[in-house]
Amino acid sequence: MDNYLLKTITCPICNNKLNYDSNLKELICNIDFLAYPVKNGIPILIDTKARKILTDHKE
């Protein structure tokens, strides 16, 4: 995925930056704990399509 595009993508709920997980091919919102899927290089920024994630560890 395009790096510039990744940097400009924000969460539709909280408007914060999303972190791209290249392994899972998901865009992660660390504030809402949601993972948005990326299909064929196109991020699906729809909250009903997002997956709830659990983050019990911090870096």
Q: What are the residue ranges of helices labelled H in 1-56?
A: 3-8
Q: Does 32 contact Zn ion by CB under 5 A?
A: yes
**Closest approach of Cβ 51 to Zn ion, in Å?**
13
For residue 55, CA distances in Å to 1, 12, 29 come to: 24, 20, 11
**Closest approach of Cβ 9 to Zn ion, in Å?**
11
Among residues 1 and 53, whose Cβ is nearest to Zn ion?
Answer: 53
Among residues 14 and 42, whose Cβ is nearest to Zn ion?
Answer: 14
